[in-house]
Homo-oligomer: A and B are copies of this chain.
């Protein structure tokens, strides 16, 4: 089918490519004209304005937004003046699901359908396919299904889940209608929350491995340093990169994130080019905020999030309070 794509940065461009390869047609628009030209050269139809994009599509027009969450509302508002009743706006970015609920209501009152599609796959999605978590009305979802089929990974070589023999679902092809407006981004949000937790579990584990030799160094013996009772238990120089590779085969912790860890450590087992300042992009925060709203305990997902905040230096005043207290009650000077 023919789809409009607004926003052809790294993610959007690759999605267009995957759609073109599957035989779909894409009309693309971006404020960055060069990005549009690149895709036009690869077979997409370039549009210079939203109006042009709309004109190149047949109603009910499917228009996919692949934009920073912060600008979705503005572009959606512009599209209201360009699209027709019955057209389908699809937000494939990382919107907060609460905004989807509001947006779907607002657009419905003006005759437009709205789908929220959480999209996982990153820069690997072009080859690997995108995992799609979809929210919205059933009718528009069914209309756009060919697009979802083309973007998703499909069955691939992934083994069938034995217990699901009699339970068929598009989930087995990598896309799923999860529920009404917001459900897609809700599921994607939790997906990212889990991702933070998984990443943190590996990162803590590899940190422990990397420090298996702390008994070797003659560690400082002063009142401000807790002594190591058994330095003889910490004399291993472990082959970190090889261990990551090892665990990819037959272990309980094998995963795609572990594959990537092995890739990163294979490049440089010291990770010397990284400083360890870790950004977070919203979904991790929303997941924890949701858990708190619900009254659901989420200690692991929260700890993973806080580790990122601390890496950004946001724990500084808290640490100063601790140092100040130690100084006031015990006369402890900070160790340089």
Q: With A208-B190, A251-B121, A326-B279 in contact, do A161 and B262 touch (Cβ < 8 Å)?
A: yes
Q: Are A291 and B208 in contact (CB under 8 A)?
A: yes
A280-323 toward B: CB 8 Å interface, digit per residue (1/0)? Answer: 11100101111111111111111111111111101111111111
Q: Are A287 and B321 in contact (CB under 8 A)?
A: no
Q: Is A41 an interface residue (CB 8 A)?
A: no
A114-158 toward B: CB 8 Å interface, digit per residue (1/0)? Answer: 000000111111001111010000000000000000001111111
Q: With A303-B300, A334-B277 in contact, do A236 and B191 touch (Cβ < 8 Å)?
A: no
Q: Are A275 and B163 in contact (CB under 8 A)?
A: no
Q: Is A10 an interface residue (CB 8 A)?
A: yes
Q: With A122-B252, A249-B131 in contact, do A308 and B322 touch (Cβ < 8 Å)?
A: yes
Give complex CA distance A37, B294 in Å: 40
Q: Is A169 an interface residue (CB 8 A)?
A: yes
Q: Is A32 an interface residue (CB 8 A)?
A: no
The interface residues of chain B lying within 8 Å CB-to-CB of A295 are 214, 226, 280, 285, 309, 312, 314
Give complex CA distance A274, B238 in Å: 36
Q: Are B311 and A206 in contact (CB under 8 A)?
A: no
Q: With A194-B253, A309-B295 in contact, do A238 and B329 touch (Cβ < 8 Å)?
A: no
The interface residues of chain B lying within 8 Å CB-to-CB of A128 are 250
Interface residues on chain A, size class: 35 or more
Q: Are B264 and A327 in contact (CB under 8 A)?
A: yes
* Residues 158-183 (chain A) with a chain B CB within 8 angstroms: 158-159, 161-164, 167, 169, 171-176, 178-180, 182-183
Q: Are B200 and A243 in contact (CB under 8 A)?
A: no
Of the residues B70, B173, B196, B211, contact of A317 by C-beta under 8 Å: B211
Q: Are B249 and A152 in contact (CB under 8 A)?
A: yes
Q: With A204-B197, A334-B274 in contact, do A120 and B251 touch (Cβ < 8 Å)?
A: yes
Q: Are A178 and B239 in contact (CB under 8 A)?
A: yes
Q: Are B161 and A263 in contact (CB under 8 A)?
A: yes
Stretch touching chain B among A45-53, A79-87, A227-235: A227-235
Given A176-B239, A204-B300, A207-B321, output 12 extra A-B contacts at Cβ < 8 Å: A129-B249, A152-B249, A179-B239, A191-B253, A199-B325, A260-B329, A261-B325, A277-B323, A278-B319, A278-B323, A278-B326, A297-B309
Show 26 A/B contacts (Cβ-Cβ < 8 Å), sorted by A. Answer: A121-B250, A131-B251, A133-B243, A152-B250, A153-B249, A163-B262, A163-B266, A169-B239, A174-B249, A176-B239, A180-B235, A186-B209, A194-B205, A197-B205, A200-B300, A207-B296, A214-B294, A263-B328, A271-B320, A274-B319, A276-B317, A276-B322, A285-B292, A288-B302, A296-B309, A297-B310
Kindly list the 7 A-B residue pairs having the minimum CB-CB distance in the complex, ordered from nearest.
A197-B201, A255-B255, A276-B319, A163-B266, A174-B249, A131-B251, A297-B306
